């Protein structure tokens, strides 16, 4: 009996359950075969070296399933009791929603700060003219983005005063430095990185990415039966098998030349917490180029295969080499301040791995060059520079003053949410597609222009869960729990010990939440009367969020929309200390008045 389910926790558990159900005759040999690719050679190699079911993996899968059900069932029941039926919570999904809610509140609380950027077009003896930015005043860096610096040009008046002095000044090159800059290729894809890159470059959702990767792994029929085109797509490792590295280096030498093959093969290491059970996601046969596969695959499958192929090939190529020149022009202004403008120029000396992307078809080239050469956040975009030397006079031909404002953090996209979850150790990449689908299906978040915005329901449920299950809702706690589950997989912790360590504290959390958590189902006094029967109105939650409902329901079914937070013309004075005016603030259950002297 050969058991050949997927080579992961779930696959191992399925094999174990199959064995329990089949109950083979006593004495029948039972083998567990593991293959990372569905190819003739991959299957033959696995069949030639069978192993046994890994009980540690089975226990690890069981532990995750039990924990997820404990948290999901028990915490969801509290929400049913305290808010309304049909709501759900989860060990990972609730923390993911909290990340989105917290980000939205950062955005709401953000106060933009005005700053001005001065940009001049300078000309030397020979063309081309080039643009430089004012980067320093009196030796202090000038603010050019969100990062706060000691010196900020904060108003149009200040910007124009500087402009008048700068235009009247004489300029020359005071510093010129050229140095070699290497740009290394990225590591081969693991699951999380593939999800992020496909979302960013192919506009492919995490769910679609995993569906297409599954089809590429399961294989395409070329006339002699299905052949898997990529290795197993659920992995946390960037490692490549030695035979794959050899094949890639040979292809690079044949296709691009020996100069593009590094003297030593590149070795990529995963994170310390990575299980490294499977190698990176790569083509099973690197000679199957994207061009040769275009007419054999569906459009989405082809685009994903091309993304994986190029990333894999580039990962074993030489670095791209550039000469980066930084030029600075400085002068003393009439005000006595020293002003310095700066520009960066870049000349490519050797394209290295970039040729993989430049050789692609034109429409894909536009996407993939972005993928690999875009400047890091905060880096200046390189400009073309003429021949320059220190002491050379420069003519300021034009000066722009540009008003800008600091920007709030961006809402999460699928790519950035996956990145955040991965970096925080929340959940596992193989579960991200279902998590992202679930939080949308539950109406906790919605997509707005490709980014996640929490619904009112998502905000309210998150606030209640943080109030009642503070520890459970902390990303660090969820990450630590993942570490405990990994220990079960490694055999350092038994299933029973893991369950006992979790359930004792969890039971106390449940009891406390049942007692202390606000009861929205019962309603929260709103401080206003029902317009129909004069009874007190209560804040309640429905499928569309918070609303005002009569406390005499169902005898009186009067409801009203909860008023939006609007600052009235006459704010009341504080009834305790007499301070005026009070501030109208927005809390988790609607607007309220707060004393300006709080917390005094």
Q: Where are the domains of the chain?
A: 2-53, 61-108+414-516, 114-182+323-352+367-405, 191-314, 524-594
What does the H/E/C string look like for 332-380?
A: ECCCCCEEEEEEEEEEEEECCCHHHHHCCCHHHHHHHHHHHHCCCCCCC
* Pair of tokens at residue 46: 């696995």
**pTM of the complete model:** 0.82
User: Which DSSP letter does residue 145 get?
Assistant: S
Closest CA to 74 of 508, 366, 573: 508
For 130, residues 6+ apart whose C-beta sits below 8 A from its C-beta are: 121, 122, 343, 345, 383, 384, 385, 386
Q: 2-53 and 191-314 share one CATH topology?
A: no
Give the whole-angstrom CA distance, residue 599 versus residue 593: 13
> Taking the CA of residue 128 as centre, how many other CA atoms within 13 Å lie in the half-sphere pointing to its CB?
7
pLDDT at 596: 61
pLDDT at 573: 67
In DSSP terms, 383 is beta-bridged to 345
* Pair of tokens at residue 142: 């000038």
Domain 191-314 has CATH 3.40.50.300: no
Closest CA to 561 of 533, 516, 531: 531
Give the whole-angstrom CA distance, residue 37 versus residue 219: 9
pLDDT at 546: 80
pLDDT at 370: 41
pLDDT at 575: 63
For 284, residues 6+ apart whose C-beta sits below 8 A from its C-beta are: 37, 38, 39, 42, 227, 228, 229, 230, 231
pLDDT at 84: 85
β pairing state of 130-137 and 114-123: antiparallel
Q: What is the dihedral of CA 182, 183, 188, 191, to 10 degrees?
A: 140
Closest CA to 317 of 171, 155, 187: 187
pLDDT at 251: 98
Give the whole-angstrom CA distance, residue 252 versus residue 140: 48
Q: Which residues of the chain have pLDDT under 50?
A: 361-363, 365-379, 564-569, 588-589, 599-600
Residues noted as catalytic:
232
Give the whole-angstrom CA distance, residue 161 versus residue 389: 30
Give the whole-angstrom CA distance, residue 363 versus residue 231: 26
pLDDT at 570: 56
Give the whole-angstrom CA distance, residue 115 versus residue 286: 51
β pairing state of 545-550 and 559-561: antiparallel
Give the whole-angstrom CA distance, residue 432 versus residue 63: 18
Cα torsion 99, 444, 104, 78: sign:
negative
For 574, residues 6+ apart whose C-beta sits below 8 A from its C-beta are: 580, 582, 595, 596, 597
The answer to whether the beta carbons of residues 174 and 136 sit under 8 Å apart is no
Helix (H, G, I), strand (E, B) or coil at 414: helix
The listed CATH number (2.70.20.10, 3.40.50.620, 3.40.50.10210, 3.40.1390.10) that belongs to domain 114-182+323-352+367-405: 2.70.20.10
Domain 2-53 has CATH 3.40.50.140: yes
The answer to whether the beta carbons of residues 365 and 143 sit under 8 Å apart is no
Classify residue 252 by burial, with Cβ atoms within 10 Å: 0-12, 13-18, 19+.
buried
The answer to whether the beta carbons of residues 532 and 557 sit under 8 Å apart is no
pLDDT at 369: 40
pLDDT at 368: 43
For 176, residues 6+ apart whose C-beta sits below 8 A from its C-beta are: 325, 326, 327, 328, 388, 389, 390
Closest CA to 214 of 196, 237, 230, 236: 230
Helix (H, G, I), strand (E, B) or coil at 189: strand
* Pair of tokens at residue 43: 């299957």
Helix (H, G, I), strand (E, B) or coil at 151: strand
Give the whole-angstrom CA distance, residue 266 versus residue 239: 10
Q: What is the CATH number of domain 61-108+414-516?
A: 1.10.460.10
Give the whole-angstrom CA distance, residue 405 versus residue 343: 22
Give the whole-angstrom CA distance, residue 22 versus residue 16: 10
From residue 556, give the alpha-carbon distance in Å to each of 536, 549, 559, 563, 565. 11, 9, 9, 20, 26
pLDDT digits 0-9 by tens, 85-105: 888 999 999 999 999 999 999
Sheet arrangement for strand 524-529: 524-529, 536-542, 545-550, 559-561
* Pair of tokens at residue 37: 């690719």
Closest CA to 166 of 438, 401, 516: 401
In DSSP terms, 151 is beta-bridged to 142
Give the whole-angstrom CA distance, residue 283 versus residue 297: 14
Q: Which residue has the tokens 């960013």?
A: 200
């Amino acid at each position: 009996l050969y058991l050949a389910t997927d080579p992961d926790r779930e696959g191992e558990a399925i094999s174990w359950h199959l064995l329990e159900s089949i109950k083979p005759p006593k004495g029948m040999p039972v083998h567990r075969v593991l293959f990372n690719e569905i190819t003739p050679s991959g299957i033959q190699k696995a069949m030639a070296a069978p192993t046994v079911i890994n009980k540690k993996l089975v226990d690890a899968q069981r532990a995750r399933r039990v924990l997820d059900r404990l948290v999901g069932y028990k915490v969801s029941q509290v929400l049913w009791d305290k808010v309304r039926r049909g709501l759900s919570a989860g060990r990972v999904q609730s923390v993911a929603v909290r990340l989105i809610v917290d980000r939205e509140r950062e955005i709401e609380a953000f106060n933009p700060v005005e700053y001005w950027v001065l940009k001049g077009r300078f000309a030397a003896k020979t063309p081309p003219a080039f643009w430089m930015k004012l980067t320093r005043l009196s030796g202090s860096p000038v603010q050019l983005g969100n990062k706060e610096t000691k010196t900020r040009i904060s108003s149009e008046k200040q910007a124009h005063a500087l402009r008048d002095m700068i235009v009247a000044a004489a300029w020359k090159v005071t510093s010129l430095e050229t140095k070699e800059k290497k740009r290394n290729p990225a590591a081969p894809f693991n699951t999380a990185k593939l999800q992020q890159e496909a979302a960013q470059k192919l506009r492919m959702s995490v769910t679609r990415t995993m569906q297409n990767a599954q089809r590429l792994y399961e294989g395409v029929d070329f006339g002699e039966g299905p052949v898997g085109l990529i290795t197993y797509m659920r992995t946390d490792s960037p490692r490549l098998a030695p035979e794959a590295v050899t094949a890639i280096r040979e292809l690079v030498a044949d296709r691009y030349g020996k100069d593009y093959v590094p003297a030593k093969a590149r070795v990529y290491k995963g994170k310390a917490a990575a299980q490294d059970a499977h190698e990176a996601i790569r083509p099973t046969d690197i000679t199957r180029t994207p061009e040769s596969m275009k007419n054999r695959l569906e459009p989405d499958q082809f685009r994903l295969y091309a993304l994986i192929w190029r990333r894999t090939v580039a990962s074993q190529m030489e670095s791209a080499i550039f000469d980066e020149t930084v030029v600075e022009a400085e002068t003393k202004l009439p005000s006595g301040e020293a002003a310095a403008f700066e520009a960066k120029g870049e000349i490519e000396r050797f394209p290295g791995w970039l040729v993989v992307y430049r050789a692609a078809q034109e429409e894909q080239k536009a996407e993939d060059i972005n993928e690999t050469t875009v400047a890091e956040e905060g880096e200046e975009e390189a400009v073309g520079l003429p021949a320059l030397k220190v002491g050379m006079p420069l003519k300021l031909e034009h000066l722009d003053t540009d008003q800008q404002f600091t920007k709030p953090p961006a809402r999460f996209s699928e790519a950035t949410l996956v990145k955040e979850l991965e970096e925080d150790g929340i959940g596992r990449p193989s579960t991200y597609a279902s998590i992202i689908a679930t939080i949308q299906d539950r109406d906790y978040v919605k997509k707005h222009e490709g980014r996640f915005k929490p619904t009112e329901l998502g905000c309210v449920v998150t606030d209640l869960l943080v109030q009642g299950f503070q520890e459970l809702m902390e990303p660090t706690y969820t990450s630590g729990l993942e570490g405990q589950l990994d220990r079960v997989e490694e055999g350092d912790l038994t299933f029973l010990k893991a369950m006992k360590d979790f359930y004792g504290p969890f039971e106390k959390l449940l009891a406390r939440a049942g007692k202390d958590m606000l009861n929205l189902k019962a309603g929260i006094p709103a401080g206003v009367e029902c317009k129909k029967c004069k009874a007190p109105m209560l804040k309640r939650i429905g499928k569309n969020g918070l609303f005002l409902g009569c406390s005499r329901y169902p005898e009186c079914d009067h409801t009203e929309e909860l008023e939006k937070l609007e600052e009235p013309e006459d704010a009341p004075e504080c009834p305790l200390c007499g301070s005026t005016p009070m501030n109208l603030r927005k809390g988790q259950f609607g607007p309220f008045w707060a004393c300006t002297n709080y917390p005094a």
